A and B are shown apart, each in its own frame.
Chain A
Amino acid sequence: MIVVNGLCKTFDKTPVLRGIDEHIHQGEKVVIIGPSGSGKSTFLRCLNLLETPTSGTILIEGEDITAPGANVDKIRQKMGMVFQQFNLFPHLNVLDNITLSPVKTGKNTKEEARDIAFSLLKRVGLEEKAGSFPGQLSGGQKQRIAIIRALAMSPDVMLFDEPTSALDPEMVGEVLQVMKDLAEAGMTMVVVTHEMGFAREVASRVLFMDEGLIAEQGEPDEFFKNPKNERTRSFLSRVGI
């Protein structure tokens, strides 16, 4: 579904990604971990071109999104993204946050988008917040809204960029629960996170990134029990596993 070949990204001559080859299949839940500065967020942001790769190719469902003339807007509609800082639109209420993109991109009519929004709100237990503004919500509520805002575009894959890192500890659980439900529903997911428990429980594959490369990967059981790479071992022991 996503095929990455030789992906490099350089910021002002500082290499952040140094040649990543990766194949993510439909239905996989890939969790990316690694020390800060290892390039995991940059890798994720390259997947929907929020960062422009310096070199390498990314194929999404067979389409090369790095090719000049690729319809980036169209491709992004198939890829949901959830940010660390939620990035809800503060001038729009919750319902309008969710329906803006489906309506403006012509995917749904206003009525359809509204119905979809309410069924998604019900799914995360926030239907009574439809008329609220983002400023009136807690961090956990904001992130749950941000997730269903992305889902309203019916994406084929969901990208999560440290979705719980900006949350108060007591709100992490509610967001992770929504993500677990999503995983169970069969969504293809790529998640950058520091939540090792989530990685262990939900991931079908764990990638460990270090210095711009995927240093090690494996199924979570094997990965956490028998890390082979020295750097993986020291990272895991530092985060307490």
Chain B
Amino acid sequence: MVQWIIGKWDAFSHDVYLNFIKESRYLLILDGLKTTILLSITAILFGIVLGGLATLLRRSKYGFLRAIGYTYVDVIRGTPSMMQLLVINFVVFASVNVDLFVVGTVAFGLNSGAYISEIFRAGILSIDKGQTEAGRSLGLSSSQTMTYIILPQAIKNILPALANEFIMLIKETAIVGYIAMRDLTKAGDIIRSLTYDAYMPLLAVALLYYLLVKILTLGIEWLERYLRASDMR
């Protein structure tokens, strides 16, 4: 029995050595993790800007601006994000020499922006029409009413959904390996091809994704509790 445990332990530590320590392979994982995190952050920020713009367009009083905003959301939601990534890389940026990180940011930002615009729109719609009417009846312009009355209230409904979109985005970035970016998933895959051991690297990568998302989820839960508490006053 003891012999069996020692045997297992030896095998395990050998696997850890082979997959992570030897030739400093853990650096591949760390670099991949860094890429995944940075890409997710730049993409969500770009997505928030695009989402805000799309929301503005969709609320415009001019029909053709509304049509542009609507078409953007419609096309992005109607096609796989994988396709969008490939098109951005091999069609849009085909003849331009830009950093892959920029390509990834644009692709995932464009994708996220469409969903974020929906989140913004729902948040704004969740505020009672009477609030707008009260603001306008006091002589505030429509943008003042939006800035001082609607958005401060809508943000409570927007933030948790936005944080959720961020979590989705982190996992979505796992497909950047297809345009040869070395993110967390790709790092695990590289190690697998070096060591012919799938079990260790893939499990380690999955665990890291899980921990990343778990930390964020705890953050969202805290945020929601905080926002609810401020409702009580």
Tell me which residues across on chain B come within 8 A of A80, comparing CB atoms: 137-138
The 8 A CB mask of A67-83 against B (1 = contact, 0 = none) is 00000011011111101
Question: Are B233 and A133 in contact, with the CB atoms below 8 A?
Answer: yes
Q: Is A83's CB under 8 angstroms from B130's CB?
A: yes
A10 at the interface (CB under 8 A from B): no
Find the B residue at minimum CB distance from A82: B137
Residues on the B chain within 8 Å of A105, using CB: 138-140, 144
Which residue of B134, B148, B231 contacts A83 across the interface (Cβ within 8 Å)?
A: B134
Contact A136 B137 (CB under 8 A): no
B133 within 8 A of A: yes
Whether B131 lies near A87 (C-beta < 8 A) is yes
Q: Is B25 an interface residue when CB atoms closer than 8 A count as contact? A: no
Contact of A74 among B137, B139, B152 (CB under 8 A): B139
Which of B131, B141, B153 interacts with A73 by CB under 8 Å? Answer: B141
Q: Tell me if A150 counts as interface (CB < 8 A to partner B).
A: yes
Given A89-B149, A90-B153, A91-B152, answer yes or no on A101-B138 (Cβ-Cβ < 8 Å). yes
Judged by DSSP, the binding face of B is helix
Task: Report if A2 contacts B (CB, 8 A).
Answer: no
B171 close to chain A: CB less than 8 A: no
Does A17 sit at the interface, judged by CB under 8 A? no
Expressed in whole angstroms, the minimum distance between the Cβ of A133 and any Cβ of chain B is 5
Q: Given the complex of chains A and B, what is the CA–CA distance between A59 and B137 in angstroms?
A: 17
CA distance A90 to B54 in the complex (A): 27
Residues of B within 8 A of A74 (CB): 139
Interchain CA distance A85-B139 in the complex, whole Å: 19
User: With an 8 A cutoff between CB atoms, is A241 at the interface?
Assistant: no
A149 within 8 A of B: yes
Contact A76 to B136, CB < 8 A, known contacts A89-B149, A91-B153, A133-B233: yes
Contacts of B148 in A (CB 8 A): 100, 104
Of chain B, the residue at the smallest CB distance from A75 is B139
Q: Are B138 and A83 neighbours in the complex by a CB distance under 8 Å?
A: no
Q: List 9 A-B contacts (CB under 8 A).
A: A73-B139, A79-B137, A80-B137, A81-B133, A81-B138, A83-B130, A88-B134, A105-B140, A105-B144
